[in-house]
Structures are given as C-alpha cells and as structure tokens.
Amino acid sequence: MTKSIDLMSDESLMEAVKNGNLQQASMLFDRYNKRIFNFLARMTKDRELAEDLTQNVFLRIIRYRNSYREGMRFQSWIYQVARNVFSDHYQAAKNKTSGFVDVEKIGEMMMDTQDSREQEEREKLLEKSLALLSDEQRELLVLTRFQRMKYEEVAMLMDTTVANIKVKVHRAIQKLREHYFQLERI
C-alpha cells in the first residue's frame, strides 16, 4: 500500500487531507518541506526563521485544508500559502526589521557545491544583490530561478498575466545585474 501512496499525485493527497485523512499531510510535507524552506530562507535571509515559517505553512495547510479547491494545482496553492505566511510575518515584524544583511547567515544557507573561495564570494555577492531588490523582484526571482516555477504558475499565484510576469522577471534580472556589477567593483 505504501507504493500506491508514493505514486499518488500531490492533488490526490491534498484531496485526502481535505477529506479528513490528515496522515497524508506527512507525504506532502516530505515532498515539499525542502522547497518551501528554501523559498522562505531566500525571502527572509534567516535560516531559523525560515524553519519556523515552513512549519507554519504546513500547519496552515492542515488548518485551512477546506480552502483547497479540487482541480487546483497543489504546488501553486502551497506557494500561495507560503507567500501568505511570509507576508503575515513581514507585516508583524515590519517595524522591527533593519536593512542590515548578515552575509554570514546567508553563506550558511547556500550549498557550496564547488567548495571554492571564488564560488563563495560570487554567492555572497549574489545574495547581497538579491537583498537590494524590492520584495516583489526578489520574490519573482526566487520563484522562477531558484524554485524553478513556470511563469504560468507564478502568474496564477500572483493573479496576473504571464506577459506581466515575464516583463517583471526581465526587469528584476536587469536590476540584479546592476546591483551585482556595482558590488563587484567595490
């Protein structure tokens, strides 16, 4: 029976959760917790906070399971929940945040694939550049580039057109490049 559960689509698992089979939520957690954590870690620039917010996302999925509509892509829905959790946290902490970016914490989040000092420096520069973007631009790049979501999914998530997302992503990349090359000169 375990194999049949492993083969169930995300949407089927969520329908089961919605219908009261809460054990299926653990399968969704296994499939999505790393992706949601990575999304939130890049958005918050804080590993511990991202862990807490990730837990909140999965608690909300269970709490608000009845808001999941049949036929809806689960991935789009869970990212919308994650965006809402991030937004709620940001609104609550709005007056407490500073513009300081702790590069050391960002470095901990990044996977060091080449184990080279140059790669680390480029990653730090990229994270600093990402931090200089507006929240919307950073979110768009995290979703499309780091989370590899399709423009169609992001457009649906943000309730806009694919063309609008493409333009915004293009502008965000341009802005990221500007920040990156400015920081590189320093």
- Specify the CATH number for the domain of residue 55: 1.10.1740.10
Q: Is 17 left (phi over 0), alpha (psi -120 to 50) or beta?
A: alpha
The stretches in the chain having pLDDT less than 70 are 1-6, 93-117, 119
- Specify the CATH number for the domain of residue 171: 1.10.10.10
Contact 176, 130 (CB under 8 A): yes
CA distance 181 to 186: 9
Residue 61, pLDDT score: 92
Residue 36 sits in the same domain as residue 110:
no
What does each C-alpha distance from 1 to 7, 89, 153 come to in angstroms? 10, 39, 32
Residue 131 sits in the same domain as residue 60:
no
Each residue's pLDDT tens digit, 20-56: 998 999 999 999 999 999 999 999 889 999 999 999 9
Residue 14 sits in the same domain as residue 92:
yes
* Structure-block tokens of residue 132: 């200089």
Residue 62 sits in the same domain as residue 110:
no
How many other C-beta atoms are found inside a 10 Å radius of the C-beta of residue 147?
A: 18
* Chain position carrying tokens 């809806």: 72
Domain closes at, from 97, 119, 145? 97
Instruction: Look at residue 2 and tell me if it is in a domain.
Output: no
Contact 61, 78 (CB under 8 A): yes
Domain closes at, from 35, 64, 97? 97
Residue 68 sits in the same domain as residue 133:
no
Residue 118 sits in the same domain as residue 143:
yes
Q: Which domain holds residue 155?
A: 106-186
Instruction: Look at residue 177 and tell me if it is in a domain.
Output: yes
DSSP labels, 53-121? HHHHHHHHHHHTGGGPPTTS-HHHHHHHHHHHHHHHHHHHHGGG--S---HHHHHHHS--SS--HHHHH
Residue 145, pLDDT score: 85
Residue 62 sits in the same domain as residue 80:
yes
Counted domains in the chain: 2
Instruction: Look at residue 36 and tell me if it is in a domain.
Output: yes
